[in-house]
Amino acid sequence: MYEGMFAETVSFRGHKGDVGEAYYARPLGAGPWPGVVLIHHMPGWDEWIKEATRKLAYHGFATISPHLYFREGPGSPDDVGARTRAAGGVADEQVIGDVAGSMEFLRAQPYANGKIGVIGFCSGGRHTYLVACSLPGIDAAVDCWGGNVIVDDPKQLNAKRPVAPIDLTDKLRCPLLGLFGNDDENPNRDQVNRTEAVLKKLGKNYEFHRYDGAGHAFFNVMRPAYRAEQALDGWSKVFAFYRKHLAAPAAARAA
């Protein structure tokens, strides 16, 4: 069996039509392939994020990871990440626009099967929750340890992040998979439980998995936080979830 992929940096049109860079990896072959938008973590658009993008392509998903901090460039991802941190991060409205643009990129590919998933890690997990409540056309969302979905201190809300994503849960329009380490402090166990309670109360289609012996970022092979056993299980849950929800062509959308 021949396995191959194509992975490179591409341009995408994001919020307000701004053109930025993204890392895009897709399986070689006629497809059709489902698409995935991968939202990077707070430190930035780094090597591990690109590795995760390729991992999804290996498993059959045409995956684009937009560089959410590109407007603070040019420069290396760590310098750009530092500038972005110093500027107080990126605005939710801008992230939503950049993810929408990334979804359009996926839809435009001739081998797209019409289904789109979103996955995010860390602040990307929070962004995943946010876009799943804000954007139409997402068929499955995966929130990996996204902190600040629940905001206990209202003073943390600001012009860039004016609303706690939990308050948008009634607008969640797709199945949601959440993966969390029980030793994580942001989100902590109580916050994950409270998020689940809201999803349950609103009758949303979700599944949450919590891992003992794991904290924040336990998928990240480049950090001491990496936990092999939990990460292997977590990834298998991601792929099973995506195969279930992204496999069929979107016949309704094509009509």
Q: How is residue 140 written in tokens? A: 């499955």
To the nearest whole angstrom, how small is the minimum distance from the Cβ of residue 45 to other proteins?
Answer: 11
Q: What residues between 60 and 79 interact with other proteins by CB under 8 A?
A: 75, 77-79
Decide whether 171 or 223 has the Cβ nearer to other proteins: 223
CA distances from residue 243 to 37, 61, 182 in whole angstroms, order as listed: 15, 10, 26
- Sort 237 into a burial class: Cβ within 10 Å, 0-12 / 13-18 / 19+: middle
To the nearest whole angstrom, how small is the minimum distance from the Cβ of residue 84 to other proteins?
Answer: 8
Give the DSSP letter string of 104-161: HHHHTSTTEEEEEEEEEETHHHHHHHHHHTT-TT--EEEEES-TTSS-S-GGG--SSS
Please report, in angstroms and rounded to a whole number, the separation of the first and last CA atoms in the chain. Answer: 35
Cα–Cα distance, 55 to 61 (Å, whole number):
9
Applying CB under 8 A, the span of 14-22, 102-110, 203-211, 217-225 interacting with other proteins comes to 217-225
Decide whether 11 or 186 has the Cβ nearer to other proteins: 186
Give me the residue label for tokens 């359009």. Answer: 104
Decide whether 82 or 198 has the Cβ nearer to other proteins: 82
Residue selected from 15, 26, 40, 41 as contacting other proteins according to rule CB under 8 A: 41
Cα–Cα distance, 84 to 60 (Å, whole number):
32
Residue selected from 25, 42, 57, 99 as contacting other proteins according to rule CB under 8 A: 42
Element (H, E) at 55: helix 47-58
Q: How is residue 211 written in tokens? A: 């891992």
120 binds other proteins (CB under 8 A): no
Element (H, E) at 238: helix 228-246
Decide whether 38 or 57 has the Cβ nearer to other proteins: 38
Decide whether 116 or 231 has the Cβ nearer to other proteins: 231
Residue selected from 43, 120, 178, 234 as contacting other proteins according to rule CB under 8 A: 43
Per rule CB under 8 A, count of chain residues that contact other proteins:
30
Decide whether 15 or 127 has the Cβ nearer to other proteins: 127
Q: What residues between 152 and 211 interact with other proteins by CB under 8 A?
A: 185-186
Do residues 26 and 59 make contact, with C-beta atoms less than 8 angstroms apart? no
Residue selected from 18, 54, 55, 82 as contacting other proteins according to rule CB under 8 A: 82
Residue selected from 66, 117, 215, 234 as contacting other proteins according to rule CB under 8 A: 215
Cα–Cα distance, 169 to 166 (Å, whole number):
5
The residue ranges that bind other proteins (CB under 8 A) are: 41-44, 46, 75, 77-79, 81-86, 88-89, 122-123, 147-148, 185-186, 215-217, 222-225
